[in-house]
């Protein structure tokens, strides 16, 4: 890759889409943000087209595009259907981006990955020790996700949805989640879901976001503490299940919920420590916070774009 060539990294999260222009070393040149919460697909598409056009005017030699998106995703069609953005079902994001770049004479390669896979790719880029070990990256934000790192390689699975961890069940007879499955970890531990669980637990203060719930818990509100503790326990159990299945002893956590709430993080760590006790081979487990926050999915998208280019 030559130094006059550029990459785009696109991150589709639960409430926002960010599109970044990166140079050949995967250094960010400019990043634009589009709000995606409670907006129509048409409005979001218009903003995506305008943003792509704005970045292409800065650097028209865009040779590869990477997308990190909340799942499920379609690797071949570059379509996205994120559970938390109901407006997007089989949304042809790849086609839209390529169509817009073609107007500037760019015909780049394009590839898509799960957003947590993108975060894991960024973590491996920033922490070279991950090229020699295995680790499970857990994202606890609006939604829940995970990614499996094996000696620097981030596993993608047969359909690109490896680590689709938020919708793994932790209660086989539990309540039905947004995705249609029973007792998903995200039903208990997702940042958005915990607001609903808080109301069910009797919290009368209006809960506009997770920060409000966390402040209530920090001020000693019993129902708020119980809600966050229950979410942290659910994700701890799901994490132990993944560690057990894969014989993984290293866990890295990221995401708005776990990074902003000591109550959530400390409960998650203590529950993993306690629930791992029956499994002696995992007792020396290590857990740490990620080096970047969830914005790393955009960097991970640029890294995917570069990898696709270098291996094609
Ligand atoms: Zn679910």
CA–CA distance, 185 with 167 (Å, rounded to integer): 6
Check the CA dihedral 44-49-50-51 and report its sign.
positive
Q: What is the pLDDT of residues 173-207, one digit of tens each?
A: 999 998 899 999 999 999 999 999 999 999 999 99
CA–CA distance, 305 with 312 (Å, rounded to integer): 11
CA–CA distance, 112 with 11 (Å, rounded to integer): 10
Please tell me the distance between residue 100's alpha carbon and the centre of ligand 1 in angstroms.
Answer: 34
- Residues 251, 138: contact at Cβ < 8 Å? yes
Question: Would you state the pLDDT for residue 70?
Answer: 84
How many percent of the chain have pLDDT more than 70? 100
Question: Would you state the pLDDT for residue 293?
Answer: 73
Backbone angles phi, psi at 93, to 5 degrees: -60, -40
Go through the chain and tell me how many residues it has. Answer: 312
Instruction: Name which of 3, 33, 20 is nearest 300 in CA terms.
Output: 20
Please tell me the distance between residue 164's alpha carbon and the centre of ligand 1 in angstroms.
Answer: 10
Please tell me the distance between residue 263's alpha carbon and the centre of ligand 1 in angstroms.
Answer: 24
pTM (two decimals): 0.89
Can you list the domains of the chain with their CATH numbers? 6-117+295-311 (3.30.420.40), 129-289 (3.30.420.40)
Please tell me the distance between residue 98's alpha carbon and the centre of ligand 1 in angstroms.
Answer: 31
Q: What is the pLDDT of residues 108-140, one digit of tens each?
A: 999 999 989 999 999 999 999 999 999 999 999
Q: What is the pLDDT of residues 155-175, one digit of tens each?
A: 989 988 888 899 999 999 999
Please tell me the distance between residue 305's alpha carbon and the centre of ligand 1 in angstroms.
Answer: 29
> What's the distance, Cα to Cα, between the start and end of the chain in Å?
12
Please tell me the distance between residue 156's alpha carbon and the centre of ligand 1 in angstroms.
Answer: 20
Which residues sit opposite 287 in a β-bridge? 251
Please tell me the distance between residue 29's alpha carbon and the centre of ligand 1 in angstroms.
Answer: 36
Please tell me the distance between residue 23's alpha carbon and the centre of ligand 1 in angstroms.
Answer: 37
Q: What is the pLDDT of residues 229-277, one digit of tens each?
A: 999 999 999 999 999 999 999 999 999 999 999 999 999 999 999 999 9
Backbone angles phi, psi at 73, to 5 degrees: -125, 160
Report the 10 Å Cβ neighbour count for 263.
17
Mean pLDDT of all residues belonging to the chain: 94
Please tell me the distance between residue 175's alpha carbon and the centre of ligand 1 in angstroms.
Answer: 10
Q: Which residues of 26-54 are buried (b: 16+ CB within 10 A; e: fewer)?
A: beeeebbbbebeeeeeeebbebbeebbee
CA–CA distance, 79 with 97 (Å, rounded to integer): 11
Please tell me the distance between residue 183's alpha carbon and the centre of ligand 1 in angstroms.
Answer: 7
Please tell me the distance between residue 185's alpha carbon and the centre of ligand 1 in angstroms.
Answer: 7
Q: What is the pLDDT of residues 45-94, one digit of tens each?
A: 999 999 999 999 998 899 999 999 987 889 999 999 887 788 889 999 99
User: Helices 262-275 and 210-218 meet at what angle, rounded to 10?
Assistant: 80
CA–CA distance, 61 with 59 (Å, rounded to integer): 6
Question: Would you state the pLDDT for residue 72?
Answer: 83
Please tell me the distance between residue 168's alpha carbon and the centre of ligand 1 in angstroms.
Answer: 7
Please tell me the distance between residue 130's alpha carbon and the centre of ligand 1 in angstroms.
Answer: 29
Please tell me the distance between residue 162's alpha carbon and the centre of ligand 1 in angstroms.
Answer: 15
Please tell me the distance between residue 9's alpha carbon and the centre of ligand 1 in angstroms.
Answer: 27
CA–CA distance, 229 with 224 (Å, rounded to integer): 8
CA–CA distance, 34 with 28 (Å, rounded to integer): 17
Question: Would you state the pLDDT for residue 294?
Answer: 62
Provide the CA 204 distance to its chain's centre, in angstroms.
Answer: 30
38 Cβ neighbours under 8 A, 6+ residues apart: none
Report the 10 Å Cβ neighbour count for 160.
19
Radius of gyration of the chain (CA): 20
Please tell me the distance between residue 174's alpha carbon and the centre of ligand 1 in angstroms.
Answer: 11
């Amino acid at each position: 890759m030559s130094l006059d060539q550029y990459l785009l990294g696109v991150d589709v999260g639960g409430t926002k889409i960010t599109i970044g222009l990166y140079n050949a070393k995967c250094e960010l040149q400019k990043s634009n943000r589009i709000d995606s919460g409670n907006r129509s697909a048409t409005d979001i598409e218009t903003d995506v087209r305008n943003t792509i056009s704005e970045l292409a005017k800065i650097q028209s030699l865009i040779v590869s595009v990477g997308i990190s998106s909340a799942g499920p995703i379609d690797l071949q069609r570059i379509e996205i259907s994120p559970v938390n953005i109901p407006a997007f079902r089989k949304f042809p994001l790849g086609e839209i981006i390529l169509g817009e770049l073609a107007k500037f004479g760019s015909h780049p390669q394009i590839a898509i990955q799960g957003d947590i896979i993108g975060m894991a790719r960024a973590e491996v880029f920033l922490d070279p020790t991950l090229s020699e070990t295995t680790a499970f990256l857990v994202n606890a934000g609006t939604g829940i996700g995970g990614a499996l790192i094996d000696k620097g390689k981030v596993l993608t699975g047969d359909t690109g949805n490896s680590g689709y961890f938020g919708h793994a069940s932790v209660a086989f007879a539990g309540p039905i989640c947004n995705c249609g499955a029973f007792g998903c970890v995200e039903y208990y531990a997702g940042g958005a879901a915990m607001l609903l669980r808080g109301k069910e637990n009797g919290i009368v203060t209006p809960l506009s976001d997770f920060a409000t719930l966390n402040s209530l818990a920090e001020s000693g509100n019993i129902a708020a503490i119980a809600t966050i503790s229950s979410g942290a326990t659910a994700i701890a159990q799901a994490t132990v299940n993944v560690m057990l299945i894969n014989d993984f002893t290293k866990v890295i956590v990221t995401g708005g919920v776990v990074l902003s709430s000591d109550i959530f993080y400390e409960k998650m760590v203590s529950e993993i420590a306690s629930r791992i006790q029956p499994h002696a081979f995992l007792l020396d487990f290590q857990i740490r916070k990620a080096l970047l926050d969830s914005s790393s999915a955009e960097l991970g998208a640029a890294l995917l774009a570069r990898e696709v280019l270098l291996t094609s």
